[in-house]
A and B are shown apart, each in its own frame.
Chain A
């Protein structure tokens, strides 16, 4: 396979995952705004930070309001992180890698782009927001379904999966990063009294609220939530799940190409940080530092994969 094609597949999957994550964050923010009268600004500020576009937002808008935030996150063409921009890039990557995609996958991406482009043509009224956000997630699910159902399990599939898992791990880690920063004043020990609504927001941002409650029967503690999102490999958006999958996919690539490359070792090292730990252990040595390091190492892994498989010249 061409290095460029591998890169295109990797980024196609990253962008699809990203659009879905952003939609989920907007949904959580929207819900917070509905359930809490005060401090909409903080909530939207943290959503913008999690998506990684707070500075870009501030450069354009003076104050943080729900409407301008939602607009910036969903349909601002000048914001490279907006759902609109991200879907456009996903579709460009799909066009560039068409020869590697099945007709079903291509059509799912192309359909998704056409539907969203139309929906995001005009500002989204609050009453339509749930519908738009659901559509973003559904389109992403359709592509994933087409990938699962029609693609050969070869290097093409592996690069797509690696892209999507790296992006997802990054997203989950960012949610934790932002929320810890916001929630814990300096010096306050992790695990002290907590705002339940804030924790709901974290769980919702990761589509983890139902499964968490189902497993924990209403026993909401920050530690349990952190454990769930970091270490529980049953939870498809947890860091542990993502790294299980990454190790698998890299191993499959190794088997197909008959070699191991530096990214394989890097991923294995990162996975050790997750499997060899308990949540107490992580919290004791500094949860925030742990998350920070994880985000950095995850980005390094992405760069190593790019280099190992010659995505660029």
Chain B
């Protein structure tokens, strides 16, 4: 929030002026009200591995993260460029593989990658869109300087928190929104519905039927699945509500089986189809991949998109952007050491205490090491894991992430934040909702913002210009 001279940066000026007029215990009271609101609405997530655990709330902090309109425009250009490149890359990888032929990416990185789906070779999704919904995780390190931490090209989650955080702020602080002009985000579900509809299979007629596929009530993101289905006016289905009928995927309704045109699936590729992938999956729909390959249904996102957000591929993103768009990447990549390469591994092992090490296929902040925060024992344990299977890891320097204050018992205190804007891709358009989800590390000094690791969220404001 503060610039190098310790004064509040310009986009925060008006907010800070307001903040000075508010008593801290007033903020604490609002904070408790917000928590009650979240509980009543049921904005909760389930924690895996905790039997009988109550549904948890993700900590919500009521100091907004504010981005000025100009900086946002730069971000939008960068994200559009990146998302276009990702879709072009996916099409290429599952068709002619020009980028491999050109030697820009080593072949083994694709061939030996678990996220690469041979079933998708030669398949073009309806409308040519692979990643209907993308979440790009960014950090800001200085004025107009953003780094991409990772691309989420499979099923980025958290958008319901983005929307509910704003609803909560509107309810708590209406006066702020009349004082500061913030770009609205509430039409995200409408845009999502429209964007998915535009990607319906060519053969579908009339208004496309959209459904959201959830693993069920006990999934950690169930609230979000129900929320999005509700807001879009789509059905929320589970695998056992669906079956293949006459070459289409159809859902069991009170009036018989009705075909689905677009399935926004919130289950992983592996569980999508027990006939084609994991045989023991109870979550998926037997035969759905065959319907998909014959053009009978749109799956959002397309199967096999994981190859684009794989952490080993990440390090090649600047090349990928350049290869497909002919331009230099606007958003920076964090310098990344691929531990599969001997030189890099050596460097990483020597400098482990200064680096962040992540599993190539990991997500949610599990299995990662934050060097500067790790104990000697943790470092040596991780060193052993790294040596045993180097290709499983990448390492990055820790960045000087920007901070935004959070409300703590002792008053306001700075905490590190990242930002996940949500991107909708349709055949003719890319929509980026102003702002996105700001995740915040609730512990002082911590760089880990994942909700599964105790991170919280904030409302994100992009100011009108």
Among residues of A, the one whose C-beta sits closest to the C-beta of B216 is: A96
Size bin of chain B's contact surface: 20 to 34
Can you list 29 A-B pairs with a CB-CB distance of less than 8 A?
Answer: A1-B253, A1-B254, A2-B235, A2-B237, A3-B241, A3-B253, A3-B254, A4-B241, A4-B252, A5-B235, A95-B42, A95-B217, A95-B226, A98-B226, A98-B227, A98-B230, A99-B226, A99-B230, A99-B234, A99-B236, A107-B41, A110-B41, A110-B42, A111-B40, A114-B39, A114-B40, A257-B254, A257-B255, A313-B240
Tell me how many residue pairs across A and B have CB atoms closer than 8 Å. Answer: 59
Q: Does B12 contact A (CB under 8 A)?
A: no
Decide yes or no: A2 and B252 within 8 Å by CB, A95-B42, A106-B42 being known contacts. Answer: yes
| 9 additional A-B residue pairs with CB within 8 Å, beyond A2-B241, A98-B227, A111-B40 | A5-B235, A95-B42, A98-B226, A99-B230, A99-B236, A103-B41, A110-B42, A114-B39, A310-B256
Q: Which of A92, A98, A103, A111 has most B Cβ within 10 Å? A: A98
> What 1/0 mask marks residues of chain A from 103 to 127 whose CB sits below 8 Å from any chain B CB?
1001100110010000000000000
Interface residue A199 (Cβ < 8 Å from any Cβ of B): no
List of 6 A-B pairs having minimum Cβ-Cβ separation, nearest first: A309-B254, A99-B230, A98-B226, A3-B252, A99-B229, A6-B254
Q: Which B residues, 39 to 56, have Cβ-Cβ distances below 8 Å to chain A?
A: 39-42
- Complex contact B253–A310 (CB within 8 A): yes
A6 to B42, CA, bound (A): 21
Which of B40, B217, B251 meets A96, CB within 8 Å?
A: B217
Taking CB atoms, residues of chain A closer than 8 Å to B217 are: 92, 95-96
A2 touches B255 (CB 8 A): no
Residues of chain B within 8 A (CB-CB) of A99 are 226, 229-230, 234-236
Nearest opposing residue in chain A for B243, CB measure: A313
Residues of B within 8 A of A3 (CB): 241, 252-254
Give bound CA distance, A309 to B254, whole Å.
4
Most chain B beta-carbon neighbours within 10 Å: one of A3, A257, A313: A3
Asked if residues B42 and A310 are in contact (CB atoms below 8 Å), the reply is no
Contacts of B251 in A (CB 8 A): 2
- Partner of A107 from the list B40, B222, B226, B255 (CB cut-off 8 Å) is B40
Residues in A neighbouring B240, C-beta threshold 8 A: 4, 313
Q: How far is the CA of A193 from the CA of B20 in the complex (A)?
A: 79
The closest CB in chain B to the CB of A92 belongs to B217
State whether B253 touches A2 (Cβ < 8 A): yes
Residues of B within 8 A of A252 (CB): none
Indicate whether A244 reaches chain B with its CB closer than 8 angstroms: no
Q: Report the minimum CB–CB distance from B401 to chain A (whole Å).
A: 36
State whether the Cβ of A155 lies closer than 8 Å to any Cβ in chain B: yes
| Contact present for B253 and A95 (CB under 8 Å) | no
CB pair B252–A310 under 8 Å, yes or no, is yes
* Most B Cβ at <10 Å: residue of A1, A4, A313: A4
A110 to B253 Cα, complex, angstroms: 26
Shortest Cβ gap from A198 to chain B (Å): 42
Nearest-Cβ distance from residue A75 to partner chain B, whole angstroms: 16
**Complex Cα gap A137–B195 (Å):** 45
| A88: min CB distance to chain B, Å | 12
Judge if B137 is at the interface, Cβ distance under 8 Å. no
A262 and B255 alpha carbons, distance in the complex (Å): 14
Q: State whether A110 and B254 are in contact (beta carbons under 8 Å apart), knowing that A99-B235, A313-B240 are contacts in the complex.
A: no
